[in-house]
A and B are shown apart, each in its own frame.
Chain A
Amino acid sequence: MPQVSLTDSFTKPFKACSDVIGLEVGAGLSEGVPAVRLRKSKGRTELVAAGFLDLPGAVPVSPGACDAQTWRLPAPFRAPHAALAIRSPHAYLRHSAGGHGEETADRAMAYRQAARQTAPEMPPLAAGLPEFQAAWAARLLPEGRRPTACSLQVAAAAAMGGFAASSALARAQGHAVALFVFATSTSLAAFQDGRLVFYREHGVGMDHLRAAISSQMGIETALADSVLEDTLIDPTPVIEPILRPLYRQIEISADYLLRRCKCQVEHFFVNGLTVGGPHWAKLFTRIMTHNMTFCSPFEGLERTGQAVRLPEDVEKRAPLLMTALGAARTVLEDA
């Protein structure tokens, strides 16, 4: 429903967002829809609530499949504003060649796009989402009750935004290469002075690792995580062929950063990894002769409210909340 402002106080009662819940729509997690509520108070960012919500989180794949849905969130998650991060195979995030990213891979459907200059002398970063998916997501949280949507982002940008505001990047003086591991892809971002200077998507994600372990070890995919967690079994021969190309991309990114800013990247961060971290690290050290730091999305945040005593399974699966947290954090930092 369109709104046209008569006076600012009448139709646009939106103050700067200081209490936001981030939701990752289309994550496809068995746990539920990732949700993280953040609040900015006296210059500090607080973690108010975090968890996986029992909501129908599937993004429609075609305009005809857009069933109208409205979500009602549990009380701890009812912030005034919501930042929705959409995970969709049709979404894109890339540096535009010039201009504002009008080139799209798929012109068969209408797209909603946004672009932003993230660093000087860098092409703008462009994000796009099919219009029907964007419109569907915008209607998930109806008017008149908490929360209502104040931001719609693509998942990869949300995750990066969360990292960009994190204490980990700050400790690295703003120079770092970060990995964002998702189910079917991994985003690779290079930061210089805290700004994104390089972004790539690599079509390898945790699901690929699980599938490789499952097929090569002859176990069910559901047991692949336990293999990755088990120190007795070394899955490195299985995962190395998959990770090596990724690490090569990291090397290229670090080299690009060295040439661009004349600085050696010493910090490599990994976000979103719930299992197999040691194997990733071991392989990374062997190939890159550098250490890899695993980030928790909750790092550096004061806890309050429901977040003071989070359930153990939420704590354990915290990296899966990276995108939801990033969506909320991006809005708070942009206010």
Chain B
Amino acid sequence: MNASLHLNLLKDDERFTSSPIRPRIMIPLLTLLSVAGLGVWWLLLTERLSGAVHEKAIREAHCAELTPARNQVLSLRAREKEVRAALTQLGFYRASRIRFGDTLMRLPQHVPASIQFTELRVPPPPPLPAPDPALKVKPLGPTNLVEAVSLRIAGRAGSSASDEAVRSLLDALRQPAYTNLIRKAEIPKGAFRQDSARGPAARESILFEITCACGERRFK
């Protein structure tokens, strides 16, 4: 109900806050403190960085000290690795060994008297196939791990009981005495025929051929 008698002569810009916490003081102050804090943080990081650089240098020096001795070990290791690889490759060769001497020595014992060998042949290894042109990286060596070996016996048998004589020989080649080398023996088709050579002895002979598949050479 009372009408106020407050005639205030104080201007708005003369009104101040009594609080010591004034935004226009606190905000710059806090910002400056934050920057100071960032500065301290930066100094600490710089110190830490310096320490890390020093530690890295020390560790590098330690590693450098050990490098010659370690290189020696690595060199030994590399040499061993090379030697073992060479031994492995040479081991492939050794594993592929095949012996003909004993078989050849035993063979005459089982050749009937009516049979005369004209040829004994073991064909040499076939040529290696050309590398696959589609391959981007050319292989360092042959990719086949086995190599077939065969023995071909060609001969002549007297006309009387020639069949039996050749069969007898064939059977002998299939015996345990030969199985070390010969896996399969057979007379190919058409390999048993009359001798067409001139002369009376030839007319009475039968030509034969026995093909033996020998044990493979395994390069592994």
Give A residues with C-beta under 8 Å from B: 1-4, 9-11, 13-14, 80-81, 84, 93, 112-119, 125-129, 134-135, 138-139, 141-154, 157, 160-161, 164-165, 169, 174, 193-196, 330-331, 333-334
Residue count of chain B within 8 Å CB distance of chain A: 24
**A333 contacts across to B, CB distance below 8 A:** 2, 4, 6
Given contacts A148-B15, A148-B17, contact A127 B1 (CB under 8 A): no
B72 CB to nearest chain A CB (Å): 75
B134 CB to nearest chain A CB (Å): 78
Does B3 lie within 8 Å of A195, measured CB to CB? yes
Closest 3 CB pairs of A and B: A143-B16, A2-B13, A127-B7
A219 CB to nearest chain B CB (Å): 38
The 30 listed contacts between A and B (C-beta, < 8 Å) are A3-B12, A3-B16, A11-B24, A13-B17, A112-B11, A113-B9, A117-B3, A125-B5, A128-B9, A134-B9, A138-B10, A143-B16, A143-B22, A144-B17, A145-B20, A146-B18, A148-B16, A149-B14, A149-B16, A150-B10, A153-B8, A153-B9, A154-B9, A157-B5, A164-B3, A169-B2, A194-B3, A195-B2, A333-B6, A334-B6
**B1 contacts across to A, CB distance below 8 A:** 174, 193-194
B30 CB to nearest chain A CB (Å): 14
Q: How far is the CA of A296 from the CA of B187 in the complex (A)?
A: 152
Check B144 for interface membership: any CB of A closer than 8 A. Answer: no
Does A125 lie within 8 Å of B7, measured CB to CB? yes
The binding surface of chain A is classed by DSSP as mixed
The residue from A13, A84, A93 contacting B19, defined by CB atoms under 8 A apart: A13
Q: Contact flags (1/0) for B144-176 with A, using CB distance below 8 Å?
A: 000000000000000000000000000000000
A264 CB to nearest chain B CB (Å): 20
Q: How far is the CA of A1 from the CA of B24 in the complex (A)?
A: 13
Q: How far is the CA of A239 from the CA of B5 in the complex (A)?
A: 31
**B14 contacts across to A, CB distance below 8 A:** 135, 138-139, 149, 152
Considering only CB atoms, which chain B residue lies closest to A149 in the complex? B10
Q: How far is the CA of A14 from the CA of B11 in the complex (A)?
A: 14
**A149 contacts across to B, CB distance below 8 A:** 10, 14-16
Does B10 lie within 8 Å of A144, measured CB to CB? no
Q: How far is the CA of A319 from the CA of B108 in the complex (A)?
A: 159
Given contacts A81-B18, A144-B22, A149-B15, contact A119 B8 (CB under 8 A): no
Considering only CB atoms, which chain A residue lies closest to B17 in the complex? A13
**B8 contacts across to A, CB distance below 8 A:** 114, 151-153
B20 CB to nearest chain A CB (Å): 5
Check B23 for interface membership: any CB of A closer than 8 A. Answer: yes
A152 CB to nearest chain B CB (Å): 4
Does A148 lie within 8 Å of B18, measured CB to CB? yes
- In the complex, chain B residues 1-50 whose Cβ is within 8 Å of any chain A Cβ: 1-20, 22-25
Give B residues with C-beta under 8 Å from A: 1-20, 22-25
**B4 contacts across to A, CB distance below 8 A:** 116, 161, 164, 330, 333-334
A137 CB to nearest chain B CB (Å): 9
Q: How far is the CA of A142 from the CA of B2 in the complex (A)?
A: 32
With A143-B22, A196-B3 already in contact, 15 other A-B pairs whose C-beta atoms are closer than 8 Å: A1-B16, A9-B23, A11-B24, A13-B19, A116-B7, A144-B16, A148-B18, A150-B10, A153-B8, A157-B6, A161-B4, A164-B3, A164-B4, A194-B1, A333-B2
Q: How far is the CA of A153 from the CA of B20 in the complex (A)?
A: 26
Considering only CB atoms, which chain A residue lies closest to B13 in the complex? A2
Does A1 lie within 8 Å of B13, measured CB to CB? yes
- Chain A CB within 10 Å — which of B4, B13, B22 has the most? B4
Given contacts A14-B17, A148-B18, contact A165 B7 (CB under 8 A): no
B198 CB to nearest chain A CB (Å): 132
Q: How far is the CA of A151 from the CA of B23 in the complex (A)?
A: 23
Q: How far is the CA of A11 from the CA of B26 in the complex (A)?
A: 13
Does B15 lie within 8 Å of A164, measured CB to CB? no
The residue from A116, A129, A139 contacting B6, defined by CB atoms under 8 A apart: A116
Q: How far is the CA of A76 from the CA of B22 in the complex (A)?
A: 23
B197 CB to nearest chain A CB (Å): 128
B149 CB to nearest chain A CB (Å): 102
Considering only CB atoms, which chain A residue lies closest to B1 in the complex? A194
Q: How far is the CA of A334 from the CA of B7 in the complex (A)?
A: 10
Q: How far is the CA of A313 from the CA of B74 in the complex (A)?
A: 105
A76 CB to nearest chain B CB (Å): 15
**B3 contacts across to A, CB distance below 8 A:** 117-119, 164, 194-196
Given contacts A10-B23, A165-B2, A174-B1, contact A142 B16 (CB under 8 A): yes
Does A161 lie within 8 Å of B5, measured CB to CB? yes
